[in-house]
Structure 1
Amino acid sequence: MSKKKTAMPKITLIVLLSISAVLLILLGIWLVGELKDSFSDPADGTEPGAISTSVSGGDEVVMLVNSYIADMRKDKTLTIEADGVSVKLDLNEAGAPVDYDELESYMKSKGYDTALIGQYKTVLEAQGEPGSVYNDEYITKKIDELAVNVDTGSDTEYELIEGGVTFYRGSERTVFDKAALADSVKAALDAHRYDTITVSTTKEAPEIPDLDELYTMIYCEPADAYYDVDENKNTIVVDHVVGYDIDIELIRKELTEGTWTEKTFMKQEILPEVTAETLPQKYFKDLLGQQITYYNTAEKNRTVNVGLATAAVNENIILPGQTFSFNRVVGERTAQKGYLPATVFQNGGMQEGLGGGICQVTSTIYAAALKAELDQVSRYVHAYKVSYIDLGMDATVYWGSLDYVFRNNTEEPIKIVSSAKNGTLTISIYGKETRPANRTIKFRSVVLETYMQEMKFEEDLTLAPGAEKKIRSGMPGYKVELYKQIYVDGVLQNEVKINTSKYSAYNGLTKVGPKPVVTDPPVTEPPVTEPPVTTPPETDSPVASGTTGEDVPVVETTSAPDPNSPGI
């Protein structure tokens, strides 16, 4: 037997739907209450009906109303016009003030709550913000756009070219008062008048560029060449600068009175008084000091060394207050530079050394600098006397330790001019002579002590016994004071000590052979014989002499070059 179907599922569905509807109604009532609390019953004590000025509520109202304003004005523009050319301004971008009457009508037409307008104003006032802020940048941009479209003319322009400037004459300009138009735009926006503003134009001549500014761009003052010192303390020539000028008044007149459309004006060169080529002629006109010494050209290696060092110092320029350093200028004496072995004073004697002979160059410079009366900074005396210059006027150098240095104590540059030719070494120092013409100087060497050399003897087994061979005679040493004598009109006025120099004695050397060996001659006994019958007469037996009776000769040879010769 079949069972009857129940109606329970259908009833359950209806009940569930009813409960859901009731819950939705209650949720809606709660939301309305919450919104009412946020706008009409704030916790901060404001009157009922006022909007909360808290950040959350106030900002939300401002954002909402601003969206209404933007939507209301999205199709509205303000037009500016000149000579039939127009440009439209967007009210929102221009920052136009709000027409609240229009806003209220718009919100009513859209069904929006117009009470928000009052709340909007209250928030802005509470936050100290204006209802609108003009966008001056945007307004200026649109006015400039109109000006460009209206103006078909152009200003006069120029182009800097090689050797001058080319001008391009402009054409008549169509202009209007931009500032006045900007004021008119703001006045129209304040009045909520969104029609067309027509501005009158005028014609004016094309604008001429700032010729004074152009002149400063073209004009270049000439600059003389001059001497300077580089990072290595060497004197260098800083090249001259050619100046440029242009007749700016001629250009001004041509732009005002001319009818041409394009014209080039050339600039003029202004040469400086002193160029790199003429710089030496400005200085070095007077001979301040000179010294000449002589060397033996037969000594080939030494001659090469003297020539190299002389060439290195030639044309060297020393600025006022700067120093000349022989080692810095000449540099290390190396085989790569061409220096050769020659006789030098070293280790208490004479021996071969690379660059031998260059001390003659330093000594000659020293003497010339003394005559020029330059400040002496560093000078070392030779170990022994040299013959190419007077006592007390020599100067020795050695790379890495001994240097000769003097300072230019004059007010202008000085120059060393040097030459080594045919056995003559000449050092001349040129500059500007400031010493009185009637004043002259001389130098005098005073020997205080003399140290006589000794003759040393050295055995040489290659020589014959008892023979002697003189190698060198040697030379005495001295203690010397050098004085500068100052004369005025030929009369000695003063004497100044320059230096004290001490030279060691250089001993002579003679080589001797081994001593002769003296031996006794052998004794021979005569044979014993029977005497003859007759008695012979008695005779004396001969006795051999033990010496030859000849003097042993002394071997004399040509001695080595004297240390006083130019070979040292």
Structure 2
Amino acid sequence: MLFLSLKNSKFKTPLIILVIFFAIIAALLAAGAIYRSSYDNKVHPGIKITDRSKNDAPKDIINKYVGERDVNEVSSYLKEQLNSEDNKIVFEYENDDEDYKWEYSFDKLNIDYLIDDTIEEIVEDWQSLSNIDILADMLGIVPYEEEKSIVSEIEKEKTINEIENINDELKLDPKEAKFSLDKETNELEIIESINGKAVNINKTYEEVEELIKYHYGLLFEENQVTIPLIVEEKPPETTTSDLENMEIEAMVSSFYTEFDEEKEGRTHNINLASEYFYNLIVGPEEVTSFNEIIDDLRQKEKLRKAPIIVDEEFVDGVGGGLCQVSSTFYNSALKAGLNILERHNHSRPVSYLPVGRDAAVAEKYLDLKVQNPYDNHLLIFSYTEDNRLYFKIFGHEKYEDLDERYEIVTADYEEKQPPTEYVEAENSNDCNEGEEVIKQEGSPGYEISTWRYKKDEQGNVVDRQFLYTDNYATIPTIIEICNNKTQE
């Protein structure tokens, strides 16, 4: 009887509407479920495979075979195009003379497109849509649209390694501009610099990665991806204009010493060390340290044994002859008007220079340091020729032949005669009583002061600069006396 009462109640119409509403919802949900399931094994037409190519042709080719097709059919199609054994990367480089190409298969670079992963992601995204989204698409209210990139893999290390191999073939090291010296005329010439070139390896790899990840549509047109190599010019540290701007045009000073070429170890060391001062540019106010310049030579252990002075004695040691190089440089620097910041004399006079004009060096504790006092660059050329060691300094033309205006003067010269020492013969049985044998020839010592005079163009002394007072040790004469008392 309840039904009868409701039949006449005021709730009759709303109830019917409610029933109809839920019936429609149920029908729609059921239809949506059927619609959803219809794409369990098929790619929805709203799915588009993306491609970043400049034109739409690659993208159109891809999607022509994607929408409304069975997932297995789409997967096979994509694999056939993207994971083909014929696919390759072509690196290209063009210059004025020739075009270069390097080809690599996808297998060589371990490039792979993960098609199954991409398809699985497409299906999962569809199945994860809400019922409302499904209905909106089914009814055409809000069509389902989704862009997908095909997942890819590329072995970065192997790809970069191959790009490095290309760079080894292609690269050209820059050539520094440098001065050339005519040793006969002392004229300078600039050998021009040349720009180098090299592949920018990281940027080229980024191009590979970009094309493989986002421009795979190219593989649907042809079985290759072409990548222009990113080649950059590498300018040298010193260019032709750098040297021209230094205005090094004239010889400032020249000095040489002589050596005995028959002393092979010493000659070898002099030749090697002089090479480190060949074509050496010194900037304004720059300090040149002899030990710093030849440090690399010492580290390479290329120096040979030759006589050196240790504790006032001549002994064989590695690097004999280096002091002649430093001393020749010292005298050239004096004549060029350079500032002498550090210099040491030997404990004994040397054969290749007058006393007071030498400059001893020893690794870590004796150095020769000179400073360029001018506002312009200087250029040093050191070389050996016909048993002579030359140091030539060049600079601006306003300093030409400056060495003619400097005179090195020695003063307060004092010679100290060597003492005589008598020692008993080590084996008196082989000599006669009272017999004397000279075991060491003595040599005098010296004390001397050195000055540098500067003259004007008329030859008048305008400045006197005290340099050093040097002491050279006396070496005693040693006489061995026979003390054989057994002889009658």
TM-score (norm 2): 0.48
Larger RCO (alpha carbons 8 Å, 6+ apart): 2
- The structure that has the greater radius of gyration is 1
